[in-house]
C-alpha cells in the first residue's frame, strides 16, 4: 500500500517471524513462504494501526480473499483510510 511505510524495526520483526522459530514470513492462511505481503488485520480504513500486532503475512491470493471479505463486511469504507489508525495518512478524498 502506498504511503504505509513500515519502520525498520517493525519490518525486521515481521521478516524474522514468530519468536518460537524465527522461520521468516509465512502466509497465516495457507502456509506459503514466497511472495508474502503484510496485511492489516484490522484495516487502516477501519482505523487499524500499522503495528506488529495488527499485521499478518499473507500470500497474494489469501490477501485478496481477506480484502474482499473485509469489503463485503463493510470494513473498508471508501478504501482511502480515515486517518484514525496510527498507520493512516489522514488524506481527504479528492
In the chain, what are the domain boundaries? 8-72
Convert the pLDDT of each residue in 9-30 to its tens digit.
777 776 766 655 556 778 999 9
Contact 65, 72 (CB under 8 A): no
Question: What DSSP string runs through 27-81?
Answer: -TTT---SSEEEEESS-GGGT--SSGGGEEEEEHHHHHHHHHHHHHTT-STTSS-
> Whole-angstrom Cα distance, residue 74 to residue 78?
9
What three-state secondary structure class fits 88?
coil
> In this predicted structure, what is the pLDDT of residue 10?
75
Q: Judge whether residue 7 has pLDDT over 50.
A: yes
Q: Phi/psi zone of residue 83: left (φ > 0), alpha (ψ -120 to 50 degrees), beta?
A: left
Which range, of 12-16, 57-61, 67-71, averages the lowest pLDDT? 12-16
> In this predicted structure, what is the pLDDT of residue 94?
36
> In this predicted structure, what is the pLDDT of residue 17?
61
Q: DSSP letter at 8?
A: H
Amino acid at each position: 500500500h502506498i504511503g504505509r511505510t513500515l519502520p525498520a524495526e517493525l519490518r525486521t520483526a515481521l521478516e524474522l517471524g514468530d519468536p518460537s522459530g524465527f522461520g521468516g514470513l509465512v502466509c497465516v492462511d495457507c502456509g506459503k513462504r514466497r511472495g508474502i505481503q503484510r496485511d492489516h488485520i484490522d484495516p487502516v480504513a477501519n482505523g487499524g494501526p500499522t503495528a506488529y500486532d495488527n499485521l499478518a503475512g499473507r500470500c497474494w491470493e489469501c490477501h485478496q480473499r481477506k480484502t474482499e471479505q473485509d469489503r463485503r463486511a463493510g470494513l473498508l469504507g471508501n478504501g482511502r483510510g480515515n486517518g484514525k489508525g496510527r498507520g493512516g495518512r489522514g488524506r481527504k478524498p479528492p
